[in-house]
């Protein structure tokens, strides 16, 4: 993975106040992920990469008898979540899942659109697995490297060289499945492709910025209006309209 942890933390911290407004895809994906779990009456749930806590609140309300531990690497996100979410069985923690995963036994560990940012996800998955009790589940969604493929192609065309965006470093199932299958008794995975339309290139870039999903940022140092117009023209020449492709991988792993 070529994305710096500090860039990820800074991106999501900067988007703490705008994330919910622009995260329609992430909200849809969470609903799909939550519906895929089969754990009944969990006693403890861990939400990795909880962001503003919007989805954590749903977990707390759905499972009122469960203790919900929600963590995020961004202190700003946790501050927003702590103010907004008043569900009594939810506890928010600032922690980096890469190195500071709470050592607690959980019936359900859930992570929505967050684990793909981890620099060494294959190395972290066994540690996450140890937090899942026998009969429990790890359920997570992760964006794949084909996310924002149209944007990558348009920028590469204008730059005259192959450009790799942050999403190009996201993990493929063939890398993760051997690890998951060695840690869990049953692993179910599926892919979904979502295409979100935008009225302009600027609207797409704004969505990326305000959800904190830019990683180290777009390549290049000077982004003039002229350059942006060139990229939009290349975008429309290839795909006609402006849309963003999201490659979503869902994983449900039973201990």
Contact status, residue 51 vs residue 31, Cβ threshold 8 Å: no
For residue 115, is pLDDT > 50?
A: yes
Structure tokens at 130: 């140890």
Indicate left, alpha or beta for 34 from its phi (over 0: left) and psi (-120 to 50: alpha).
Answer: alpha
pTM for the predicted model, two decimal places: 0.91
Span 5-148+165-197+244-254: which CATH code? 3.40.50.150
The pLDDT value recorded for residue 150 is 92
pLDDT tens digits, residue range 48-57? Answer: 999 999 999 9
> What are the residues facing 244 on neighbouring strands?
196
pLDDT band with cut points at 50, 70 and 90 for residue 114 = very high
Report how many helices (DSSP H) and strands (DSSP E) the chain contains, helices first: 10, 7
H-helix segments, 90-162:
121-129, 149-159
The confidence score (pLDDT) of residue 214 equals 66
What are the structural domain ranges in the chain?
5-148+165-197+244-254
In this model, does residue 221 exceed pLDDT 80? no
Using CA atoms, how far apart are residues 139 and 122, in angstroms rounded to an integer? Answer: 15
Q: Which of 139-143, 146-150, 236-240 has the lowest mean pLDDT?
A: 236-240
Average pLDDT, the chain: 90
- Rounded (10°) angle between helices 24-36 and 54-62: 30
* Residue 77 and residue 26 in contact, taking contact as beta carbons nearer than 8 Å: no
User: pLDDT at position 141, please?
Assistant: 98
Cα–Cα nearest to 142, from 128, 159, 153, 160: 128
d(CA 97, CA 128): 9
Closest of 239, 238, 218 to residue 228, by C-alpha:
218
Q: For residue range 8-24, what is the model confidence (pLDDT) as tens digits?
A: 777 677 777 788 788 89
- The stretch 213-239 carries a mean pLDDT of 75
Residue 183: pLDDT over 50:
yes
Which pLDDT score is estimated for 2? 45
């Amino acid at each position: 993975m070529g994305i710096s942890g500090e860039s990820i933390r800074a991106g999501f911290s900067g988007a703490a106040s705008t994330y919910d407004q622009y995260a329609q895809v992430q909200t849809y994906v969470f609903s799909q992920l939550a519906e895929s779990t089969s754990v009944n009456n969990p006693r403890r749930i861990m939400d990795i990469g909880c962001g503003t806590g919007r989805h954590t609140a749903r977990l707390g309300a759905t499972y009122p008898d469960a203790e919900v531990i929600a963590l995020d690497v961004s202190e700003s996100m946790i501050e927003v979540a702590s103010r907004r979410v008043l569900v009594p069985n939810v506890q928010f923690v600032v922690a980096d899942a890469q190195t500071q995963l709470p050592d607690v036994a959980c019936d359900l560990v859930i992570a929505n659109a967050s684990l793909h940012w981890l620099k060494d996800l294959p190395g972290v998955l066994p540690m996450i697995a140890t937090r899942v009790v026998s009969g429990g589940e790890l359920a997570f969604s992760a964006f794949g490297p084909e996310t924002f493929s149209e944007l990558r192609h348009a920028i590469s065309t204008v730059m005259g060289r192959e450009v790799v965006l942050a999403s190009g470093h996201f993990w493929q199932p063939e890398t993760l499945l051997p690890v998951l299958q060695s840690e869990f008794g049953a692993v179910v995975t599926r892919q979904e492709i979502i295409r979100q339309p935008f009225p302009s290139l600027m609207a797409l870039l704004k969505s990326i910025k305000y959800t904190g999903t830019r990683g180290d940022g777009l390549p290049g140092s000077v982004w003039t209006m002229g350059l942006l117009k060139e990229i939009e023209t290349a975008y429309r020449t290839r795909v006609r309209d402006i849309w963003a492709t999201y490659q979503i991988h869902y994983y449900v792993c039973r201990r």
